[in-house]
Amino acid sequence: MLDFIKRWFWYDWMMFVIRTILFVSLLFTLEHFSEQLTIPFWLGALWGITAFSIPWLCLQRHYTYYLISEMVISGGLCLYAVSLFPEAYVAFLGPTFMIASNSAQKSYRWAGPMTIFVIPALLAELSEPSNLMTMILQFGLIYAVGFAFQLLVVNHRQSEMIRDQYAVLEQYSSQVERLTLAEERNRLSKDLHDTMGHSFTSIMMGLETLRSEVNTSEGARKLESLLQLTRGSLDEVRQYVHQVGAAQDSRTLVESLQALTAEFQALTKVTVRLRILGEEDQVSQQVKMTLHRCLQESLTNAVRYGQADEIAVSLHFEEKQLRLEVQDNGLGTEELQASFDLTAMKERASDLQGQVHIHSKPGEGTVVTCTLPRQAEQQEEAIRLLLVDGQPSIRESLQMILAREKDFEVVGLAEDGEQALEQCERLRPHVVLMDLHMPRMDGVEAAKRVKQKHPGIRVLIMTTFQETEKAVEALRSGADGYLLKSSEPQELSETIRLVHRGVMMIAQDVTNQLIQNYGGGALREQPAEPDKPLPPPSGLTPREMDILQCLSKGLRYKTIAAKLYLSEGTVRNYASTIYTKLGVRNREEAVQKVFGNQG
């Protein structure tokens, strides 16, 4: 009941005050004429309390219930009073005003005649029939005043709604503008760093190779001058990149979300409660931007579509993931319509290997959950990388890009598969980034031999084109991931971290091509055993099928992790991905959908 009171406007309080005044005056009247009553005073007072409270409580549920209860209970009390005192009919003028004020839609068609004609006719029958026309005029006038008041209230509510919508849109527009500028600065910073850094590095390396060919002191002096000029230009580019990047939001993730909720609450007058669970740590700018946008979209949709006035936000810093939950008390809906906002929210999370789930039911509000895997925490030993590529410029560019990450250490460079095998034996890297096309031994054969000799080393294939046949061959040979060289540096870094943690990663473009050309079983060994039926097409990878097989046996996440040599958090991420691909909510539905029809 308190929730209803919190939503009251001035006209709701006005109606409550009128009702209270009528009730108090009724009690005084009953007490004053108690000797002339045909029923005990306490019974009359109880009748009055019922006439005051029951219709009001019914109004909180539905206006139809209110109209019926008001006419029956209050009308009955007035009929009883008129049977004793003919002039008591005026006591029903107050309920008449409230009936007109609280009628809605087509209820006027029956509520009006009942209030203006039927009830006055009954009152006149018990008092003086000659006063019937006078009563009809009085009740009709009061009903018209109540009807006009109802129109005023409807207009006021619409104006308030338009104002709230405008405030939400204004706040949304302001946030979008700021975040768009921040994203553009971030993109510009990365583009400058990657393109100019690569160009200057290539120039410097090219100049260094000329040292042995310069025999005169004058040539050596000019070469040194060119090298100094190139290094100086590269330093200037780096300084400019840092200045551009410094213009980005320097607040932490928690501070950013706190500022967003405070601003939203101030502009929309909606109560937003933010809770932080777990110990905060540093997150990348991309993660912060994704969670910020997800919260922004969720808050805006809760008010625009759900008409919520209370929103609870919780940010969970868990061991393996970040989880943002936004729960509102709005209208909710059975079927969520796909929209640009919802699609953009899911795409942003998907870019970081995360997910967005939305649960909504009529009358129960909406819950939006955004889950992103946490970056590997800074370890005592960084992720050791071996870069294998036939082109020196590519190796050096990759080395320069990856050297920026604090948790990466490039321990070796190789130009073909044979060198890669030799260096894996000697350097024992954690992850090998390997090209497909190389002299002497290509990436497929090299990946197969590396995994045979060193199963613990992760192999991430990197290539220029979407060669689906090669991709299938490489992944069957034991490679742990397949990525295009055109991937963004941020995507490359995140992919390396996830592969290092045991997650099989395939570029989205390549995955789409694999599904289109091969279907869900592209990576399974062929041919399949004739006596063992294949699972139905599901779009699941072999690793996801392994996880689902374990889930079908009732194994716990911890047991599956130990069995498949994965972390428990990775198994949880796999399970969430499986449920999303299959469109189910839990392991029972997933097992039934994939294996249920196999007998």
**Residue 313: pLDDT above 90?**
yes
Largest CA distance in the chain: 130
Q: Choose from 14-23, 360-369, 460-469, 587-596 the range with maximum mean pLDDT.
A: 360-369
Model pTM score: 0.37
Give the model's pLDDT for residue 312.
Answer: 92
**Residue 125: pLDDT above 70?**
yes
Lowest average pLDDT, out of 101-115, 184-198, 271-285, goes to 184-198
What percent of the chain stands above pLDDT 90?
4
Confidence tier at 528 by pLDDT (50, 70, 90): very low
Distance CA 178, CA 247 (A): 11
Render pLDDT for 237-271 as a digit per residue (tens, 0 to 9). 655 555 555 444 567 888 888 888 888 887 777 88
Lowest average pLDDT, out of 113-127, 200-214, 521-535, 544-558, goes to 521-535
Give the model's pLDDT for residue 274.
Answer: 92
What percent of the chain stands above pLDDT 70?
74
Lowest average pLDDT, out of 21-35, 171-185, 516-530, 533-547, goes to 516-530
Residue 318 Cα to chain centre, angstroms: 17
Burial label for 459, CB within 10 Å (0-12, 13-18, 19+), is buried
Distance CA 275, CA 324 (A): 10
**For range 303-308, the mean pLDDT:** 79
At 89, the amino acid letter reads Y
Question: In terms of Cα–Cα distance, which of 385, 390, 392 is closest to 205?
Answer: 392
Q: Are 415 and 446 in contact (CB under 8 A)?
A: no
Give the model's pLDDT for residue 93.
Answer: 84
The span from the first CA to the last CA of the chain, in angstroms, equals 53
Give the model's pLDDT for residue 247.
Answer: 45
Give the model's pLDDT for residue 526.
Answer: 43
Structure tokens at 200: 């200057």
Render pLDDT for 402-449 as a digit per residue (tens, 0 to 9). 887 888 889 999 888 888 899 898 888 999 998 887 878 888 888 888
Structure tokens at 396: 């050096």
**Residue 169: pLDDT above 60?**
yes
Render pLDDT for 460-513 as a digit per residue (tens, 0 to 9). 888 765 566 667 777 777 888 887 776 667 778 888 888 888 777 776 555 555
3-state secondary structure of 312: strand
Name beta bridge partners: 356: 370
**Residue 61: pLDDT above 60?**
yes
Give the model's pLDDT for residue 235.
Answer: 61
Per residue in 554-577, is it b (16+ CB within 10 Å) or e — as a string? ebebeebbeeeebbbbbbbbbbeb
Confidence tier at 228 by pLDDT (50, 70, 90): confident
Overall residue count recorded for the chain in this entry = 599
Give the model's pLDDT for residue 536.
Answer: 44
**Residue 294: pLDDT above 50?**
yes
